[in-house]
Structure 1
């Protein structure tokens, strides 16, 4: 379960938006040598919310939100399914090629593509990102300043030269990431605005596993994901002996976050500690005061992400390994016009 939670952390790290900044990301993962999960998956997210999903067992792409299901027709799902089936074959081939380049003959290996864009609907500023990873490390990274591929590994240099010397494809990649991706993001935000533009206040609780454990402030059920959770001591921000957790998704589309404070019983009696939660778009601060040690709840903390983990389990391995090993990670990723979007998701052979 720890590995699965790390997976969700990896996915959630891709989503760093505010009330006026929107993002779209796709995560495509191919896994070899592991029978427990599908060999190929694709997860599409808008503002951190999964809206489409494909895997090689289902052999079709399916909606994960009401707003996408209500706003597209059958041709959208057929085209997206056909694209994923073609991509699945290319990714399977790319895993085999990469294994050869790294002199590997067996074992579990992961090839992953992550890309997307962000748009600030106040300032109009846009950003794009795309990169490939193999076995938890960057394989190819797209430079958004030069619009060319960079090879972090010697084994990827042959692909870098090959792809950078295809002018038509390089021009289209630039056009997609700077224009078409933004157009689709705006369209999806409009489809899901009643969900994506909402604000939901958090529920805040304080917990301890044992009397000697750190005190955990747990905020959950809030939306959007842009949140600040902090500890204060006697009315002043307190950072000493504080451990900050990641923002994680809940299975209902909201988010959760924890922050841990190590404090002695004497300090706790002699000072006023309180947890302060601030959610973007909500003016009110949510405050929970840490009371005397004898009055505290001594209960175990149980994560609330099991349902989501089951939905995205196929992506876990790739994201977890990439996030754990890569220093850079993934950095800022009628419906008849879906053909143009599909062409932006081309999966070339390495």
Structure 2
């Protein structure tokens, strides 16, 4: 399972919107200990449901979703995703043929959703293959953009389907926002809370990079920087991806790789800004903790996450490495009144 996460690690999706809804479908082929198909839904980056091809059942992942939607809703979601599973088995085989691949582990993904803030909305959708963009849709022009030559066949076919593209544009601008507002209403008390992060400096051994970790914060938007002499410092700094904890909060790391700080410990510090904190949280290199054999050990990235469902949520958060948005497709045949997840298009030959 860890291989899937490492394959898809990429830039963090930073959402400016006040609230966001997104779903991620992931198909996997090859010799790997991961379900053939998974679907994860997230509101404000909080996992709300989970489906995989092993259980063949869509299940709520928050108590407020469990209490707010009845059996008909979950049955409808399940049936839609069973159909989507079959579609994605076809999608990944078509993609493998396009890339002339027959062996190895491969992934085919689809991410969709919408954002809503005080004065604007944003909606996007796109597909990815093996950790990179494959094809995406521009709702304003009703044109598909092929990120790879292997996607040109699909682009041509979908560009010609004007009626369906117009339908999808309408769906994204209306129904997606309606679902988002409904879900936010369900989880208002949880989604609008503000939990300040706990911040630690960790070092595996004296010669290792210094890792600044913020954990336990909510919502997911956070600003983390290394500073030298109170000025932002970017040289040899690696910014990690924001990832979910099992309790619904988030974690993120920013790593200082070089060792110059050892010669000037007064100059270097990690600065964290979050809406849950009344002021900047500042930790200096004097406060480094060893994360080897210590009671202060902080579980990092995969280590703090338990189960396939949460792992799939990580995949949803990090998406593929070139992605800067997410999206949704739907078909007129879908029962969109009862299901928030219409059957997506196929990547046909």
Alignment TM-score, normalising by the size of structure 1? 0.84
1:220 matched to which residue of 2? 215
Change (3 A) 1:176 1:260: same
More helix by percentage: 1
- Which residue of the partner structure matches residue 339 of structure 1? 336
Is the aligned partner of 1:77 residue 2:74?
A: yes
Distance 1:145 1:234 in 2: 46
Which of residues 10, 18, 23 is equivalent to 1:26? Answer: 23
Tell me how far 1:144 sits from its aligned partner.
Answer: 3.3
What is the deviation of 1:302?
4.0
Alpha-carbon displacement from aligned partner over 1:77-110 (angstroms, at most 9, x marks no partner): 0100110111111221222333333344444332
Mark the runs of 5 or more structure 2 residues left unpaired by the alignment: 293-297, 328-333
Which range moved further: 259-268 or 158-167?
259-268
1:339 counterpart SS class: coil
Give, in angstroms, the shift of residue 242 of structure 1: 3.0
- Deviation per residue, 1:198-222 (Å, 9 max, x gap): 1001111122222232322221111
Q: What is the alpha-carbon distance in structure 2 between the residues aligned to residue 183 and residue 7 of structure 1?
A: 33
Partner of 2:49: 52
SS at match of 1:160: helix
Find the counterpart in structure 2 of residue 62 from structure 1: 59
Aligned residues: 334
* RMSD between superposed Cα atoms in Å: 3.0
Counterpart for residue 15 of structure 2: 17
Q: For residues 230 and 343 of structure 1, do their structure 2 counterparts lie closer, same or farther at Cα, with a shift above 3 Å needed?
A: closer
- Other-structure match for 2:345: 348
After TM superposition, give the deviation of residue 265 of structure 1 in Å.
6.0
Distance, in Å, in 2 between the alignment partners of 1:95 and 1:110 is: 7
Matches for 1:244-255 after TM superposition, within 5 Å: 244-255=239-250
Q: Does 1:165 align with 2:163?
A: no
- The 8 Å contact of residues 172 and 344 in structure 1, kept in 2 or not, is answered as no
Tell me, yes or no, if the aligned pair for 1:112 and 1:318 is still in contact at 8 Å: no
> Could you say if the C-alpha distance between residues 308 and 225 of structure 1 is closer, same or farther in structure 2, counting changes exceeding 3 Å?
farther
Q: Partners in 1 of 2:103 and 2:37 — Cα distance?
A: 18
2:305 pairs, out of 281, 295, 307, with 307
Aligned to 1:102: 99
Does residue 1:298 correspond to 2:285, yes or no? no
Contact 2:199 2:215 in 1 (8 A): yes
**Tell me, what secondary structure is at the counterpart of 1:171?**
helix
Change (3 A) 1:151 1:214: closer
> Structure 1's 71 and 273: CA in aligned 2 closer, same or farther, altered over 3 A?
same
Distance 1:212 1:58 in 2: 45
Structure 1 residue 2 displacement after superposition: 6.4
3-state SS in 2 of match to 1:190 = helix
Q: Tell me if the contact between 2:243 and 2:314 (Cα under 8 Å) persists in the aligned partners.
A: no
The verdict on how the C-alpha distance between 1:146 and 1:308 changes in structure 2, with shifts beyond 3 A counting, is farther
Residue pair 1:9, 1:247 contacting (<8 A) in 2 also: no
Residue number among 79, 86, 90 corresponding to 1:89 in the alignment: 86
**Would the alpha carbon gap of residues 37 and 237 (structure 1) be closer, same or farther in structure 2, given more than 3 Å must change?**
closer
Q: Partners in 2 of 1:25 and 1:341 — Cα distance?
A: 17
Q: CA, structure 1 residues 62+194, in 2 after alignment: closer, same or farther (shift >3 Å)? A: same
